[in-house]
Chain A
Amino acid sequence: MSLLSAIMQHGERVGLSHYRVDNQIWQGVLQHADKTVSLIASWADEDYATMLLLEDELPFLLSVPVEKRRYYAPSMRFLAAQWGERMARDLWGVEPLFALDDRSALDNGSWTLTWPMAREPIPVQGKVHDEREEGYELKAACLAVPGLLDLTYNVSKGLITKLDVHIASGHRGILSQVKGLSPQEALPLISRVSAGGFVAHPLAFVRAVEQAQAKVPLPQERDIRFILLEVERISLHLFDIGLVARCVKADLLATHCDHAREVLAQLCSQYGVSRRLTDTVRFWDEGSKVSEIVPFAQAVTETMQPLLPRLTGLNRLFSSRMEGIAILSPEHVWGYAIGGVTGRASGRYIDMRSMDVGMRLDALRASGRHEGCALARNGQRLLEIRDSLYLIQRIIASLGIEDEAQTIPMTGEGLGVAEGARGDIWYWVKLLHGKIENLQVRDPTQPVLCVLEGIMRGHQPDDIPLALASLGISPAGVVL
């Protein structure tokens, strides 16, 4: 019997794919879940601890009541739960029992409140002890990737033996700011969660809200969203390939990526959308912001297609500089449910676009690779740009085609996913009287942070910027 079947029998169904269980079943899941079950995310507030699980590519939520501010830590079984547990402790003051890592993740002593999301936050008195261990320190400004990520590491004989990740300084309090807003009021803020998903983040949020409200977008609007997501994918892949190219001093490849990305941005602007597609995702009943989607999509494919062979050729030319760097093993990507290019370049073939109603599945041809190094990830990015262009062509050839969309009941809570350029982005939203009562976000960088130490162990410190760029790490969507 599958885990989901067992839970459906013994748990209380509280949402479309959300079950509530008691402590005994929760612990049973943590002890007996096999390798067919992976954890996408975990979170906890003062009322419930929740795991977002994937079994045979089917997502479901499992919650347990939090008693006396404590719950059994999902990280006892699922290592990827550690960041969610650490963040929940800082924001809500709930303690994960037997947690893998009990250090603070967000609260580094600079906040005006302790447990700011709790029903009764505590005004700060004193200062939180900085839990950073001693070692070399790399500040955000020294790293290749944009965003606030600090690293501390230890070195022996010139090679990294230990590495720790710190993201706290980028925390903006987004979860607290959207609470109590209507979904429409929250959308502009959600649209600025991460530049690694100006389309993908709001799209996952909008899909979650639509599921909560039992709404389905019209096929044409659904297809416009697909196209925007692919255009964003191309742009971000070009950014990441260019960043990697600069790290390995392949300036010619970087120049071609810069040029292609700028051309794409200008096309967006020319057809009436913003250069980086900000604020283009809307709710089902608001109408699309893109009035000329077919000419826009045609212009994108006609302009980008001729540039791709040159990029692929240059990537091959500089391949020896990326080969074998920052290898991520298939065991790690499956164990931590790492998605996107990073997962697919290490043998985890899962692509959440295949779950989208109306998706032209035949266009998703890049099956993935297994080498798991910086070269494999760049190669995968180029293949996915090819697929995105093909997918855009397939969509405009049958724009607005009807599909068998299931009618869903209105439950007041919804789970939305969008396959962004750097991986699958998930939003869970709970509405009360039309306002956001609870919201949780899972960004694809989160599980990658868990494995960074393992990837970098045995590398020279000089390899760190290349590894981060190649893995597409962007802390903004994690730290919120």
Chain B
Amino acid sequence: MTVRSGPSTLLLALMDAYRWRPASVKNRAGSIIRLYPIETGSCEGCAMEISALNGSTIPLEGSGFQIVKAPEEADWLLVTGAVTRSRIGALAEAWNAMPQRKSLVAIGACAQNGGPFKADYATLGGVEGLIQVYRSIPGCPPSPHEIFQALLALAEG
């Protein structure tokens, strides 16, 4: 295996990165939607896909979304995980800290209804039984592209 390092590696790598850059969805109506992901107890699969959603293969920011680091700055709460009893307080805290006109989006089967994790002494089994108004993106785990497309669809109403 030939390993090149130095200016040529940098230049070629930059050219590749430029070539791969995903095309933004420019025509989405409305202002930027700020997303705050919160993990509530899972295999971490959906959280890893959200990490990929915020990576370089999905044009998230170019398409009117932004992942933020505090719930106070967020419009939508992206919930991953089956909601353990230990995390319900953090989930409620994040929700209460968000400004008005907020939404909750359950990402993946666990967040929706517990997925393979049924309600027990430690787990509540998703947001389905906890709140009445929420939106969900199915999958186990959903791919970053599926999450992105679903977010676009939800944004368009």
Residue of B nearest to A198 (CB): B45
The 8 Å CB contact of A256, one of B16, B42, B89, B90, is: B16
Interface locus among B3-11, B99-107, B130-138 = B3-11
Cβ-defined contact, B55 with A252, below 8 A: no
Cβ-defined contact, A141 with B86, below 8 A: no
Residue of A nearest to B37 (CB): A141
Residues of A within 8 A of B24 (CB): none
- Tell me the B56-88 residues at the A interface (CB within 8 Å): 56-57, 69, 82, 84-88
Interface size on A, residues (CB 8 A): 57
Q: How far is the CA of A310 from the CA of B41 in the complex (A)?
A: 36
Cβ-defined contact, A258 with B57, below 8 A: yes
Cβ-defined contact, B51 with A243, below 8 A: yes
The 8 Å CB contact of B141, one of A176, A195, A313, is: A195
Q: How far is the CA of A312 from the CA of B13 in the complex (A)?
A: 11
Interface size on B, residues (CB 8 A): 52
A287 interface residue per 8 A CB criterion: no
Known contacts A112-B121, A172-B41, A177-B120; is A262 also within 8 Å of B1 by CB?
no
Instruction: Tell me the smallest distance from the CB of A426 to a CB of chain B, in Å.
Output: 18
Known contacts A111-B121, A313-B5; is A169 also within 8 Å of B10 by CB?
no
Q: How far is the CA of A110 from the CA of B2 in the complex (A)?
A: 55
Cβ-defined contact, A169 with B47, below 8 A: no
Cβ-defined contact, A146 with B122, below 8 A: no
Known contacts A110-B84, A188-B116; is A196 also within 8 Å of B17 by CB?
no
Q: How far is the CA of A140 from the CA of B141 in the complex (A)?
A: 20
Cβ-defined contact, B51 with A146, below 8 A: yes
Contact with B along A252-263 (1 / 0, CB 8 A): 101110110110
Residues of A within 8 A of B12 (CB): 310
Instruction: Tell me the smallest distance from the CB of A391 to a CB of chain B, in Å.
Output: 15
Q: How far is the CA of A148 from the CA of B14 in the complex (A)?
A: 34
Cβ-defined contact, B1 with A196, below 8 A: no
Cβ-defined contact, A148 with B123, below 8 A: no
Residue of B nearest to A193 (CB): B43
Cβ-defined contact, A310 with B52, below 8 A: no
Cβ-defined contact, B3 with A309, below 8 A: yes
Known contacts A171-B122, A172-B84; is A256 also within 8 Å of B13 by CB?
yes
Cβ-defined contact, B17 with A177, below 8 A: no
Q: How far is the CA of A312 from the CA of B41 in the complex (A)?
A: 35
Count contacts between A and B, CB distance < 8 Å: 162
Residues of A within 8 A of B121 (CB): 111-113, 116, 121, 173, 176
A330 interface residue per 8 A CB criterion: no
Residues of B within 8 A of A172 (CB): 41-42, 82, 84, 117, 122-123
A386 interface residue per 8 A CB criterion: yes
- Tell me the B113-132 residues at the A interface (CB within 8 Å): 115-118, 120-123
Cβ-defined contact, B116 with A192, below 8 A: yes
- Tell me the A197-229 residues at the B interface (CB within 8 Å): 198
Q: How far is the CA of A254 from the CA of B55 in the complex (A)?
A: 8
Q: How far is the CA of A147 from the CA of B122 in the complex (A)?
A: 16
Cβ-defined contact, A312 with B1, below 8 A: yes
Cβ-defined contact, A110 with B20, below 8 A: no
- Tell me the B1-41 residues at the A interface (CB within 8 Å): 1-6, 9-10, 12-14, 16-17, 20, 37-39, 41
Known contacts A147-B39, A177-B117; is A111 also within 8 Å of B122 by CB?
yes
A393 interface residue per 8 A CB criterion: no
B140 interface residue per 8 A CB criterion: yes
Nearest 4 pairs between A and B by C-beta?
A: A146-B47, A195-B45, A169-B86, A313-B9
10 example contacts (A-B, Cβ-Cβ < 8 A) are as follows A113-B121, A116-B120, A121-B121, A142-B69, A192-B42, A192-B140, A252-B14, A258-B56, A275-B143, A317-B5
